[in-house]
Amino acid sequence: MDQWTETTTADWHRRAEQQAFDGRAFVDGHRHQTVNKKTLTSINPATGAALVEIAAAEAVDVDHAVAVAKAAFMDRRWTGQSAEARKSVLLRLADLVEAHRDELALLDSLEMGKPITEALSVDVPGTAGTFRWYAEAIDKQADEIPSTAPGSTALVTREPLGVVAAITPWNYPLEIAAWKIAPALAMGNSVVHKPAPQASLSVLRLAELAIEAGLPDGVLNVLPGEAVVGEALGRHPDVDVLSFTGSTAVAKRLLEYSGQSNMKRLSLEAGGKTANVVFADTDDLKHAAEMAAAGAFYNLGQVCSANCRLLVERSIHDEFIGLLCEASQAYAPGDPLDPNSRTGALVSDAHASKVRQAIEQGRADGRLLHGGGQPKIDGASDAFLEPTVIGNLPSEHALLHEEIFGPLLTVEVFDSEAEAVQLANRTVYGLAASLWTGSLARAHRVSAELVAGTVSVNTVDALGVTTPFGGFKQSGFGRDLSLHALETYSALKTTWIQFG
Identify whether the C-beta of residue 157 lies closer than 8 Å to the C-beta of residue 187.
Answer: no
58, 103, 269, 403: the active-site residue: 269
Query: Which pairing describes strands 429-430 and 367-370: parallel, antiparallel, or unpaired?
Result: unpaired
Longest Cα–Cα distance in the chain: 82
Interatomic CA distance for residues 199 and 43, integer angstroms? 9
List C-alpha distances in Å: 365 to 308, 390, 410. Answer: 17, 9, 12
Interatomic CA distance for residues 167 and 198, integer angstroms? 13
Q: How many CB atoms lie within 10 A of CB 109?
A: 28
Please name the residues in contact with 50: beta carbons below 8 A apart, sequence gap of 6 or more.
41, 42, 43, 44
Helix (H) or strand (E) holding 472: strand 472-473
Interatomic CA distance for residues 269 and 247, integer angstroms? 8
58, 118, 304, 403: the active-site residue: 304
The yes-or-no answer on residue 304 being catalytic is yes
DSSP 3-state helix, strand, coil percentages of the chain (rounded to 5)?
A: 40, 20, 40
DSSP state of 416: S
Interatomic CA distance for residues 186 and 486, integer angstroms? 8
Interatomic CA distance for residues 177 and 130, integer angstroms? 10
Identify whether the C-beta of residue 453 lies closer than 8 Å to the C-beta of residue 431.
Answer: yes
The yes-or-no answer on residue 269 being catalytic is yes
Interatomic CA distance for residues 7 and 3, integer angstroms? 13
Interatomic CA distance for residues 59 and 338, integer angstroms? 40
Identify whether the C-beta of residue 222 lies closer than 8 Å to the C-beta of residue 69.
Answer: no
Interatomic CA distance for residues 102 and 368, integer angstroms? 39
State whether residue 277 is helix, strand or coil: strand
CB burial of 297-319 (b: ≥16 within 10 Å; e: otherwise) equals bbbbbbbbbbbbbbbbbeebbee
Q: Catalogue the active-site residues.
A: 269, 304
